[in-house]
């Protein structure tokens, strides 16, 4: 038995005497109670001969010999000095006297127990103590003798400590001469030394902590806590890992190093809107259908309201990802998609100014346009001729002769009208067949990109303040010639300790200015594949756009501007510039009401951003010339009028936001005895976010005078070519306001570091729904427990010295900004037919509207094998999305088709495995990090079964099917081609080519369910090798268990020639045995197209393994003695290296193929850089 | 244990909360988006009714005999089915915009009427207040008129009390589901809504906002409704009253014969603007046209008839319909003065006013022929005059959806018109008063409200 007496020692410093008195009385009563039953003699004899053992050990030995139990305060006894004892056959009292002599402990012997308490020293004792005490001096350095300013020197067993000055020197007065000093410095191994008047130099060894995450503290945005004290699921990415990759933005640095986190590639995303669309980053899959899908991003204390690309990665110290309810529910209704907390760098107390510099260059080659499959120009001409011969263009050629026709159709029409010219014109066609626009585009419109990054920071501090000041500059020359991105960051924070360190005042500032120039539209291939952009002499050539060339030519001599479009001449125009300015100012005040126990925070944050996009369509640009020409008219006298005036057309859009956030928070932390600890925070928070968007369009703009000319937007003008139309003037203004008012609380109780119980709750109210609905809001809460099994006495498994189980359960919330509890109408942009503004009802009244809730369970096992050969965690979770915003059908006579409310549910389950192993730890050090995530989801309730099978195949995410994943791929059953090259499907088990019936079927059994378009398994394998100053690591990523739909042959598809399988198409009977690509038929049959493109034959497995990146660094540490550098590191990094293995046999990269489309793969990036510290 | 700590905690917490709670309610009442309106003012209601982009029915044009397919390659299944009057035209497809859009406008009108009741007496009695209420009533009348033409039998006095009409949804409450009222009740409702709006409207005519109803428009719709009910006397009175407020005709001599969009949106003939929904491309006009005009119909136009070139363009042997009064690819579904003249003329002859009828029809046709080349029509035979008027009605009101209700009502009064069509080599005919003149109610409506389906 081991009883711990109630500890009141810590309270002594801060509590008024009255309480102390009460407590002492309790102790005395307790003690006397025990003493009352002590009557027997204590005749047992004790023999001990031990050197340098702890008192606890002594007590244990005495207990063995006498059977007496010991009652004591574990913490006090542990902090006692070890003792040497050597005696034989002493009685218990004598033995205890010997052992506790000089230790300042008293004891009382009771019935079979001994109570040991700390001796209350009398005044004389204290004076005597002071006389024997000494003053200690010393200096702390690293192994090579460099001072470690700020190193902490603590007297063991007391609260006394000091820190080293900038020369590494320290002084501690009045220390017990037998005391032990603990000397610690972050990143170095902690040492204990015996106190002495002059300690001389104490050198600390670099800590070998690459593997074991020592002292990992995770941040929730409300508090930071050691990871071992958290019950929830946190993924922590430290500074070293963040800096492993090189990038302009911060979030991409989490790719491949964070478990449970997946970066959704554009080609496979089901949309890009914040509401409903696939987000760029998903944490543990998806748990909403149509509401917000994006994780919440916190910078330090508050959500970052600006553009995330503003954040300079060099200012970020670490990142914490909050994955389950216990971790994230403190963020309430915004935590449903997980939370990412960015923690910025800070200065350090008592540290001389430290300067560090980071600079790098990243190169990448021109994007490879040829990676997207397309028909050759020759094939496309052949295809156009096929359509032309079938009369596809006749209606337009006769009926609307001004309608734009491709150069090929133009030539074919000329041949038809004048067969005599056939030979010559055929030559022209052949010449066009030799041209591939991509050649010119690659040569003149693309370049190698170069990104430069420079970051410099200074940080340090004195005893009462700490500061961090940094500046960053990024200059990216992008792949399209004349496109660029520049960013300037300034950040500063300063923290002051006032009133004897009871008050801490923090101020921080973040400023970003960026400038983006985008002139060249990327190569989309939406016109003709055989356009030549530049002639042999380097002169710009016109291309055909908007109207038939002949109709433009007819108008070329009437005194108007040139009607032709010369892309080459416009590629260097700097007309499209976006500038963005963002400020973030934070004030934080912390006052310690009861130091170490109770303090409160006042946080205030102001953030403002202004982004302006100025598009100046100069008169020299085709866009402007066309507008001016189109609206112009010629009076009988010959005078030309310009309703769209000469001069530039200016298009300014301005987006502004201002956000104010405030928080009051009370933090409570107290230890009771040595084993009980309570931590709690509670507080309230308020937020007001306002945004404004404004668009102005000006005509006839003259840059030098900054004047413009008004246009009449209400007159129907007969255009030179085509219909009557009005001059579009886009002037609009709109604004949004988000307001939140929240209460929150979070607490944990831990017992003996073995058991931790945590709970948190939060209630949000917001203006989004209206106050009535909010009143019904349920607070979102979580509970969690953690059990450190390896701390149990019965735990004897020495091979696995660390084993911990965590369980959490709770609710996070999510919201959709598109809904309201009231009848709301929306003012529709623009005018109605008779130029009146109008509104439309967007939301019928829904008084029962509430937040979406996500019920999250998490079970986790953390473990570490002996010597950390393998350490890691396995986590299983399930997320039940409840009351999700979903559609349910209503009778159309109500005026609505469906009612949007809290009607749907879904279930997401998964597993996150994270393993770190230390494979070799000699001169060469080899470590491996392995991440595996499994995620699967299923719609469990959805009331609207919408539409025909075509809508399920083409947009399942809009038509969720109960029992299937959100991103299901359904396809039409395929049974090959018939002997005419027509695709054949299956309907009710029968082969059929009745495409309309297949598309319109409402029986889902007529479709194949293939799987999901998101990976079920994904993760990374990262190997690191260290040898002397070198470090090499490479990261292999994998995505498994999913499918994608590839594009094939679709004559009706956009960008007509962007198709892969034209030359594999069925051309003559028998081909059906060797190909699945249908024949080309006329008239084009859209339903046949839809069937083929949605059929199972075009679904491929997405599984693949990719070599994501390689990093090599060299750190110079020994040779820096006579240089100004404290540290110096050079590094190289290569990204996007390519696929190692893929399941599809077609050589396709599933990250750039999906939804029937192909995108241009990201080129390899090569980076080199250096960091230096002064 | 430690009472003093608790005191600190309590004090600080109370301080925290009270400092912020005081102004919370106002703080959270702020509108989340400037574009979002909780409609409560007359201006908001006007803007709700001013939404011209929720269109009218199309299936009446699809089902009538004005056009033919040359190819059905890009034709939707429903259009094909409706073209040949199959018993089940939707085959489970939903939603059907011909049902949903009218009810959507009725919903908006119901919202307006409900909000209108909450206005102050001053607002209610203001000119704009009365107008808005009348406008909402007119909207309901117009939409129920469109619905009843498609989804109910033609009005027949002898059976109207038992024939199934429309579910009359009179409140915006999503939870109130109505069963079908009788045809008689439906028409009675349309008439009472129109009468109430006529009483509320002033005599002014909104020439710049032809989507807004007026006394003239409401009377014209009343005339059209009575015509459907074969109440010729009442129809004539309403038509005359309408023309007394507004009777401008457009002289086609001033219209371009070559322009692809010959008409202007401020076209003086438009009494009330509306257009067909875009659910069915078969009926698109102008450059978007996918079908050809029934050649038999084309042959009825005189060569001096300007309509022949203004309404149609040639594509080889065939004629294609150009954009009409809607000035867009979606056909005009509103009310124009020419229709009121035709109603008037028909009612005149049906009431045996031969001279009146002849003079009315000549007044209209003069504006349709090239100047000086129109020979005024004359006949002494009531049947010849009626025939002439009905033929002109068909020629003038082409592609407006009116042909379908004409077929229905004329067959009820014994005209005995059979129409037939050929599709994929098979010929289909629609006999007079066939059940297939009543379209099926969309499947989703049946499924969710369990109202009675039409038997075809």
At which residue do the structure tokens 């009745």 appear? A994
Q: What is the mean pLDDT of residues A1143-1172?
A: 91
CB-based contacts of A635: which residues, under 8 Å, 6+ apart? A641
pLDDT at A575: 79
CB-based contacts of A244: which residues, under 8 Å, 6+ apart? A253, A257, A1033, A1111, A1133
* Contact at CB, A844 and B174, closer than 8 angstroms: yes
pLDDT at B35: 73
* Contact at CB, B100 and A892, closer than 8 angstroms: yes
Task: Of A32-46, A1154-1168, B128-142, give the lowest mean pLDDT range.
Answer: A32-46
CA-angle at B370, arms to B365 and B375, nearest 5°: 55
Residue A248 reports pLDDT greater than 90: yes
* Contact at CB, A896 and B174, closer than 8 angstroms: yes
pLDDT at A396: 76
Structure confidence at residue A77 as a pLDDT band (50, 70, 90)? confident
* Contact at CB, A765 and B33, closer than 8 angstroms: no
pLDDT at A5: 39
Please check whether residue A250 is in contact with residue A825, taking contact to mean a CB–CB distance below 8 angstroms: no
Question: Pick the residue with more confidence: A654 or A184?
Answer: A654
Q: What is the pLDDT of residues A961-989, one digit of tens each?
A: 999 999 999 999 999 999 999 999 999 99
Q: What is the pLDDT of residues A82-136, one digit of tens each?
A: 778 888 888 888 888 877 777 777 787 777 777 777 765 555 555 555 556 788 8
Residue B82 reports pLDDT greater than 80: yes
Q: What is the pLDDT of residues A657-683, one digit of tens each?
A: 999 999 999 999 998 888 899 999 999
pLDDT at B4: 58
pLDDT at A632: 93
* Contact at CB, B39 and A823, closer than 8 angstroms: yes
Task: Please report the residues numbered 19 through 78 in chain A whose beta carbons come closer than 8 angstroms to any beta carbon of chain B.
Answer: 19
Residues of B in contact with A737 (CB under 8 A): 30-33
Residue A365 reports pLDDT greater than 80: yes
Helix ranges (H only) for B182-298 are: 183-200, 215-228, 232-245, 295-298
Residues of A in contact with B167 (CB under 8 A): 893
* Contact at CB, A832 and B104, closer than 8 angstroms: no
Q: What is the pLDDT of residues A62-74, one digit of tens each?
A: 877 877 777 777 6
Closest CA to B288 of B320, B259, B253, B315: B320
* Contact at CB, A894 and B107, closer than 8 angstroms: yes
pTM recorded for the entire structure: 0.77
Q: What is the pLDDT of residues B421-453, one digit of tens each?
A: 988 889 999 999 999 999 999 988 988 888 999
Beta bridge partners of B214: none
Dihedral pair phi/psi, residue B60, rounded to 5°: -65, -40
Closest CA to B109 of B132, B129, B92: B132
Residue among B4, B13, B16 with most chain A CBs within 10 A, to mutate: B16
pLDDT at A146: 75
Question: Pick the residue with more confidence: B3 or A1028?
Answer: A1028
Q: How far is CA A786 from the centre of its chain?
A: 27
Interstrand relation of A69-72 and A113-118 (parallel, antiparallel or unpaired): parallel
Q: What is the pLDDT of residues A787-796, one digit of tens each?
A: 999 989 899 8
3-state class (DSSP) for residue B328: coil
Closest CA to A746 of A336, A227, A223, A340: A223
* Contact at CB, A594 and B74, closer than 8 angstroms: no
Question: Pick the residue with more confidence: B135 or A717?
Answer: B135
Q: What is the mean pLDDT of residues A463-469?
A: 90
Residue among A775, A895, A1006 with most chain B CBs within 10 A, to mutate: A895
In angstroms, the CA A503 to CA A524 distance is: 59
Please check whether residue B319 is in contact with residue B298, taking contact to mean a CB–CB distance below 8 angstroms: yes
In angstroms, the CA B81 to CA A903 distance is: 35
In angstroms, the CA A283 to CA A339 distance is: 8
Q: What is the mean pLDDT of residues A41-47?
A: 64
Structure confidence at residue A946 as a pLDDT band (50, 70, 90)? low
In angstroms, the CA A1142 to CA B85 distance is: 53
* Contact at CB, A894 and B110, closer than 8 angstroms: no
Beta bridge partners of A782: A760, A810
Residue A160 reports pLDDT greater than 80: no
Residues of B in contact with A734 (CB under 8 A): 33-35
pLDDT at B19: 59
Q: What is the mean pLDDT of residues A780-789?
A: 94
pLDDT at A769: 66
* Contact at CB, B37 and A737, closer than 8 angstroms: no
Q: How far is CA A274 from the centre of its chain?
A: 14
Token output for A487: 């960013």
Residues of B in contact with A1086 (CB under 8 A): 73-74
Residues of B in contact with A816 (CB under 8 A): none
Which residue is closest to B320 within chain A, CA to CA?
A: A399
In angstroms, the CA A13 to CA A268 distance is: 62
* Contact at CB, B35 and A826, closer than 8 angstroms: yes
Q: What is the mean pLDDT of residues A402-427?
A: 90
pLDDT at B98: 95
Task: Please report the residues numbered 903 through 962 in chain A whose beta carbons come closer than 8 angstroms to any beta carbon of chain B.
Answer: 947-948
Token output for A930: 């392995």
pLDDT at A30: 45
Give the highest mean pLDDT range of A126-140, A444-458, A1151-1165, B37-51. A444-458
Which residue is closest to B94 within chain A, CA to CA?
A: A947
Burial class (CB in 10 A: 0-12, 13-18, 19+), A219: buried
Give the highest mean pLDDT range of A126-135, A358-367, B65-74. A358-367
Q: Could you say which of B33, B169, B273 has the minimum Cβ distance to residue A894?
A: B169
Please check whether residue A219 is in contact with residue A206, taking contact to mean a CB–CB distance below 8 angstroms: no
Question: Pick the residue with more confidence: A90 or B256?
Answer: B256
3-state class (DSSP) for residue B381: coil
Question: Pick the residue with more confidence: A1081 or A118?
Answer: A1081
Tell me the shortest Cα–Cα distance from A623 to chain B, in angstroms: 25
Neighbours of A656 (CB within 10 A): 16
* Contact at CB, B260 and A723, closer than 8 angstroms: yes
3-state class (DSSP) for residue A1127: strand
* Contact at CB, A823 and B167, closer than 8 angstroms: no
DSSP assigned state of A1058: -
Interstrand relation of A134-142 and A198-204 (parallel, antiparallel or unpaired): parallel
Token output for A793: 């006495």
Structure confidence at residue A1170 as a pLDDT band (50, 70, 90)? very high
3-state class (DSSP) for residue A875: strand
pLDDT at A776: 56
Give the highest mean pLDDT range of A171-185, A321-335, A888-902, B352-366. B352-366
pLDDT at B247: 95
Residue B206 reports pLDDT greater than 80: yes
* Contact at CB, B34 and A666, closer than 8 angstroms: no
**Across all residues in chain A, what is the average pLDDT?**
86
pLDDT at A35: 41
* Contact at CB, A683 and B16, closer than 8 angstroms: yes
A274: alpha, beta or left? (left if phi > 0; alpha if psi -120 to 50):
alpha
Asked if A890 reaches chain B (Cβ–Cβ under 8 Å), the answer is yes
pLDDT at A520: 80
User: Could you tell me what percent of chain A has a pLDDT over 70?
Assistant: 91
Question: Pick the residue with more confidence: A931 or A156?
Answer: A931
Burial class (CB in 10 A: 0-12, 13-18, 19+), B317: exposed
- Helix (H) or strand (E) holding A858, with range, is strand A852-864
Q: What is the mean pLDDT of residues A442-469?
A: 93
Residue A36 reports pLDDT greater than 60: no
Residue among B6, B15, B28, B29 with most chain A CBs within 10 A, to mutate: B28
* Contact at CB, A895 and B8, closer than 8 angstroms: no
Q: What is the pLDDT of residues A827-863, one digit of tens each?
A: 887 788 888 889 988 878 776 778 899 999 999 999 9
Asked if A836 reaches chain B (Cβ–Cβ under 8 Å), the answer is yes
* Contact at CB, A399 and B315, closer than 8 angstroms: yes
CA pseudo-torsion sign A941, A944, A948, A952: negative
Neighbours of A1050 (CB within 10 A): 22
User: What is the DSSP code string of A270-297?
Assistant: S---TBTSPPSEEESS---SSSB-SPEE
Asked if A768 reaches chain B (Cβ–Cβ under 8 Å), the answer is yes
Residue A770 reports pLDDT greater than 80: no
Q: How far is CA A1160 from the centre of its chain?
A: 24
Neighbours of A297 (CB within 10 A): 18
Q: What is the mean pLDDT of residues B146-164?
A: 96
pLDDT at A31: 45
Residue B103 reports pLDDT greater than 90: yes
Closest CA to A457 of A468, A442, A448: A468
Please check whether residue A185 is in contact with residue A207, taking contact to mean a CB–CB distance below 8 angstroms: no
Q: What is the mean pLDDT of residues A280-286?
A: 92
- Helix (H) or strand (E) holding B81, with range, is helix B77-83
Which residue is closest to A740 within chain B, CA to CA?
A: B28
Asked if A1085 reaches chain B (Cβ–Cβ under 8 Å), the answer is yes
Asked if A838 reaches chain B (Cβ–Cβ under 8 Å), the answer is yes
Give the highest mean pLDDT range of A87-91, A790-794, A1155-1159, B18-22. A790-794
* Contact at CB, B264 and A948, closer than 8 angstroms: no
* Contact at CB, B265 and A1000, closer than 8 angstroms: no
Q: Could you say which of B44, B53, B106 has the minimum Cβ distance to residue A825?
A: B44
Residue B152 reports pLDDT greater than 90: yes
In angstroms, the CA A240 to CA B336 distance is: 76
Residue A628 reports pLDDT greater than 90: yes
Residues of A in contact with B32 (CB under 8 A): 736-738, 767-768, 817, 820
Please check whether residue B53 is in contact with residue A832, taking contact to mean a CB–CB distance below 8 angstroms: yes
In angstroms, the CA A670 to CA A679 distance is: 7
Residue A1125 reports pLDDT greater than 90: no
In angstroms, the CA B74 to CA B288 distance is: 12
Question: Pick the residue with more confidence: A58 or A336?
Answer: A336
For chain A, give the longest Cα–Cα distance: 134
Please check whether residue B399 is in contact with residue B324, taking contact to mean a CB–CB distance below 8 angstroms: yes
Q: What is the mean pLDDT of residues A709-723?
A: 84
Please check whether residue A393 is in contact with residue A400, taking contact to mean a CB–CB distance below 8 angstroms: no
Residues of B in contact with A19 (CB under 8 A): 2-4
Residues of A in contact with B95 (CB under 8 A): 892, 897
pLDDT at A34: 42
* Contact at CB, B94 and A826, closer than 8 angstroms: no
So what's the ipTM on this one? 0.89
Give the highest mean pLDDT range of A599-608, A864-873, A884-893, A896-905. A599-608
pLDDT at A8: 38
pLDDT at A39: 36
Please check whether residue A140 is in contact with residue A133, taking contact to mean a CB–CB distance below 8 angstroms: no
Q: How far is CA A940 from the centre of its chain?
A: 28
User: What is the DSSP code string of A232-270?
Assistant: S-EEEE-HHHHTTS--SSSGGGGTTTSTTEEEPPGGG-S
- Count of alpha carbons within 13 angstroms of residue B36, beta-carbon side: 22
């Amino acid at each position: 038995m081991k009883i711990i007496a109630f500890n009141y020692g810590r309270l002594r410093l801060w509590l008024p005497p009255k309480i102390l008195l009460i407590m002492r009385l309790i102790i005395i009563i307790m003690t006397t109670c025990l003493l009352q039953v002590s009557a027997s003699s204590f005749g047992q004899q004790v023999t001990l001969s031990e050197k340098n053992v702890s008192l606890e050990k002594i007590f244990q030995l005495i207990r063995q010999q006498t059977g007496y139990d010991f009652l004591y305060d574990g913490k006090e006894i542990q902090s006692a000095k070890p003792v040497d004892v050597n005696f034989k056959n002493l009685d218990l009292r004598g033995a205890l006297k010997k052992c506790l002599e000089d230790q300042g402990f008293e004891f009382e012997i009771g019935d079979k127990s001994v109570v040991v308490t700390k001796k209350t020293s009398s005044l004389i004792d204290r004076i005597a103590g002071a006389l024997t005490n000494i003053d200690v001096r010393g200096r702390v350095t690293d192994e090579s003798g460099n001072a470690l300013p700020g190193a902490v020197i603590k007297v063991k067993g007391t609260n006394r400590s000091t820190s080293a000055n900038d020369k590494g020197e320290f002084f501690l007065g009045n220390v017990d001469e037998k005391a032990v000093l603990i000397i610690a410095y972050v990143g170095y191994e902690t040492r204990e030394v015996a106190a002495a008047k002059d300690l001389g130099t104490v050198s600390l060894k670099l800590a070998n902590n690459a593997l074991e995450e020592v002292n990992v503290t995770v941040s929730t945005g409300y508090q930071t806590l050691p990871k071992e004290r958290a019950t929830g699921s946190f993924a922590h990415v430290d500074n070293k890992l963040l800096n492993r990759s090189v990038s302009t933005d911060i979030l991409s640095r989490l790719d491949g190093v964070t478990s449970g986190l997946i970066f959704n590639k554009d080609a496979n995303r089901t949309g890009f809107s914040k509401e409903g669309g696939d987000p760029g980053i998903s944490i543990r899959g998806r748990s909403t259908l149509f509401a917000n899908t994006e994780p919440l991003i916190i910078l330090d204390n508050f959500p970052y309201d600006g553009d995330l690309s503003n954040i300079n990665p060099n200012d970020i110290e670490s990142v914490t990802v909050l994955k389950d309810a216990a971790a994230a529910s403190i963020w309430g209704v915004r935590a449903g998609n997980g939370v990412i907390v960015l923690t910025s760098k800070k200065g350090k107390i008592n540290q001389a100014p430290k300067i560090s510099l980071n600079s790098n260059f990243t190169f990448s080659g021109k994007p490879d346009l040829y990676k997207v499959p397309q028909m050759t120009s020759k094939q496309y001409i052949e295809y156009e001729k096929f359509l032309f011969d079938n009369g596809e263009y006749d209606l337009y050629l006769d009926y609307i002769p001004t309608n734009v026709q491709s150069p090929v159709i133009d030539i074919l029409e000329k041949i038809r009208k004048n067969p005599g010219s056939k030979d010559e014109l055929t030559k022209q066609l052949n010449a066009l067949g030799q041209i591939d626009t991509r050649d010119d585009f690659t040569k003149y419109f693309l370049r190698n990109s170069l990104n430069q990054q420079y970051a410099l920071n200074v940080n340090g501090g004195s005893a009462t303040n700490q500061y961090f000041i940094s500046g960053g500059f990024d200059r990216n020359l992008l792949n399209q010639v004349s496109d660029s991105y520049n960013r300037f960051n300034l950040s500063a924070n300063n923290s002051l300790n006032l009133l004897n360190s009871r008050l801490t005042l923090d101020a921080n500032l973040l400023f970003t200015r960026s400038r983006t120039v985008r002139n060249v539209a990327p190569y989309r291939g939406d016109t003709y594949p055989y356009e030549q952009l530049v002639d042999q002499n380097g002169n710009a050539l016109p291309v055909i756009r908007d109207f038939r060339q002949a109709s433009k030519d007819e108008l070329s001599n009437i005194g108007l501007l040139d009607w032709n479009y010369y892309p080459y001449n416009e590629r260097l125009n700097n007309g499209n510039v976006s500038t963005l300015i963002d400020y973030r100012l934070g004030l934080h005040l912390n006052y310690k009401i009861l130091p170490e126990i109770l303090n409160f925070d006042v946080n205030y944050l102001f953030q403002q951003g202004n982004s302006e996009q100025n598009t100046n369509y100069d008169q020299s640009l085709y866009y402007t010339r066309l507008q001016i020409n189109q609206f112009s008219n010629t009076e009988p006298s010959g005078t030309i009028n310009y309703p769209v005036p000469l001069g530039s057309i200016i298009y300014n859009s301005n987006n502004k936001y201002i956000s104010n956030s405030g928080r009051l928070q009370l933090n409570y932390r107290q230890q009771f005895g040595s084993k009980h600890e309570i931590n709690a925070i509670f507080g309230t928070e308020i937020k007001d976010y306002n945004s404004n968007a404004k668009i102005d369009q000006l005509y006839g703009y003259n840059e030098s005078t900054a004047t413009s000319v008004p246009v009449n937007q209400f007159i129907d003008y007969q255009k030179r070519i085509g219909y009557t139309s009005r001059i579009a003037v886009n002037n609009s203004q709109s604004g949004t306001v988000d307001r939140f008012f929240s209460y929150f609380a979070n607490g944990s109780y831990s017992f003996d570091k073995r058991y931790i119980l945590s709970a948190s709750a939060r209630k949000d109210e917001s203006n989004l729904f209206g106050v009535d609905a909010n009143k019904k809001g349920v607070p979102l809460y979580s509970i969690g427990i953690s059990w450190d099994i390896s701390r149990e006495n019965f735990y004897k498994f020495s091979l696995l010295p660390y084993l911990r189980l965590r369980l959490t359960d709770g609710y996070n919330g999510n919201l959709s900004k598109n809904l309201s509890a009231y009848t709301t109408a929306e003012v529709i942009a623009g005018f109605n037919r008779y130029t009146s503004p109008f509104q439309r009802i967007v939301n019928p009244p829904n008084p029962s509207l509430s937040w979406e809730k996500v019920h999250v369970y998490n079970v986790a096992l953390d473990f570490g094998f002996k010597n950390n050969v393998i350490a890691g965690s396995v986590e299983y979770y399930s997320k039940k999305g409840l009351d999700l915003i979903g559609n349910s059908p209503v009778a159309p006579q109500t005026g609505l088709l469906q009612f949007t409310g809290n009607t749907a549910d879904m279930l997401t389950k998964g597993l996150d495995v994270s393993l770190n192993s230390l494979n070799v730890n000699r001169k060469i050090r080899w470590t491996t990090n392995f991440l595996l995530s499994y995620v699967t989801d299923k719609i469990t309730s959805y009331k609207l079964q919408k539409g025909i099978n075509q809508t399920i195949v083409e947009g399942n995410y809009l038509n969720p099917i109960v029992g299937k994943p959100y991103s299901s791929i359904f396809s039409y059953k395929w049974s090959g081609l018939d002997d005419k090259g027509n695709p054949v499907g299956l309907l009710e088990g029968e082969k059929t080519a009745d495409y309309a019936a297949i598309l319109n079927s409402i029986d889902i059994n007529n479709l194949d369910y293939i799987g999901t378009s998101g990976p079920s398994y994904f993760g990374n394998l990262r190997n690191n090798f260290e040898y002397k100053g070198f470090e090499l690591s490479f990261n292999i990523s994998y995505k498994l268990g999913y499918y994608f739909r590839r594009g094939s042959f679709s004559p009706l598809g956009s960008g007509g020639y962007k198709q892969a399988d034209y030359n594999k198409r069925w051309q003559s009977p028998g081909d059906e045995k060797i190909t699945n690509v249908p024949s080309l038929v006329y008239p084009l049959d859209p339903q046949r197209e839809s069937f083929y493109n949605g059929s199972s034959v075009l679904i491929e497995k997405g599984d693949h393994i990719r070599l994501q990146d390689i990093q090599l660094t060299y750190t110079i540490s020994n040779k820096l003695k006579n240089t100004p550098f404290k540290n110096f590191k050079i590094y190289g990094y290569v990204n996007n290296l390519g696929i190692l293995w893929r399941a599809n046999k077609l050589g396709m990269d599933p990250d750039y193929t999906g939804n029937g489309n192909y995108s241009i793969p990201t080129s390899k990036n090569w980076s080199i850089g250096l960091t230096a510290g002064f | 244990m430690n009472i003093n700590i608790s005191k600190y905690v309590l004090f600080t917490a109370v301080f925290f909360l009270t400092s912020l709670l005081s102004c919370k309610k106002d703080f959270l009442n702020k509108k989340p988006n400037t574009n979002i309106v909780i409609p409560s003012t007359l201006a908001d209601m006007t803007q709700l009714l001013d939404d011209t982009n929720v269109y009218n029915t199309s299936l009446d044009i699809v089902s009538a005999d004005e056009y033919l397919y040359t190819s059905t390659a890009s034709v939707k299944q429903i259009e094909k089915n409706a073209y040949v009057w199959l018993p089940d035209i939707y085959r489970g497809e939903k939603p059907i915009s011909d049902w949903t859009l009218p009810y959507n406008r009725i919903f908006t009108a119901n919202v307006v009427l409900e909000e209108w009741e909450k206005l102050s007496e001053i607002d209610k009695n203001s000119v704009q207040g009365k107008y808005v209420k009348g406008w909402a009533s007119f909207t309901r009348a117009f939409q129920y008129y469109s619905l009843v033409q498609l989804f109910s039998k033609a009005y027949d006095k002898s059976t109207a009390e038992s024939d199934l009409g429309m579910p009359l949804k009179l409140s915006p409450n999503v939870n109130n589901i109505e069963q079908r009222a009788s045809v008689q009740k439906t028409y009675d409702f349309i008439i009472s809504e129109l009468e109430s709006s006529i009483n509320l409207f002033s005599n002014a005519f909104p020439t710049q906002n032809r989507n807004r109803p007026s006394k003239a428009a409401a009377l014209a719709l009343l005339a059209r409704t009575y015509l459907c009910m074969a109440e010729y006397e009442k129809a004539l009175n309403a038509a005359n009253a309408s023309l007394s407020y507004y009777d401008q005709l457009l002289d086609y001599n001033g219209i371009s014969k070559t322009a692809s969009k010959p008409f202007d949106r401020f076209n003086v003939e438009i009494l009330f603007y509306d257009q067909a929904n875009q659910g069915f491309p078969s009926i698109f006009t102008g450059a978007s046209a996918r079908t050809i005009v029934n050649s038999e119909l084309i042959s009825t136009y005189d060569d001096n008839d300007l309509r022949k070139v203004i309404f149609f363009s040639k594509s080889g042997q065939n004629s294609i319909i150009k954009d009409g009064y809607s000035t867009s690819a979606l056909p005009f579904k509103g009310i124009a003065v020419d229709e009121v003249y035709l109603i008037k003329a028909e009612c005149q002859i049906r009431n045996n006013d031969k001279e009146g009828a002849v003079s009315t029809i000549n007044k209209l046709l003069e504006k349709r022929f090239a100047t000086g080349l129109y020979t005024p029509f004359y006949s002494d035979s009531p049947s010849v005059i009626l025939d002439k008027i009905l033929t002109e009605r068909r020629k003038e009101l082409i592609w407006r959806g009116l042909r379908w209700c004409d077929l229905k009502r004329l067959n009820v009064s014994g005209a005995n018109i059979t129409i037939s069509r050929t599709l994929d080599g098979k010929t289909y005919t629609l006999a007079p008063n066939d059940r297939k003149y009543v379209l099926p109610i969309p499947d989703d409506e049946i499924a969710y409200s369990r109202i009675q389906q039409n038997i075809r």
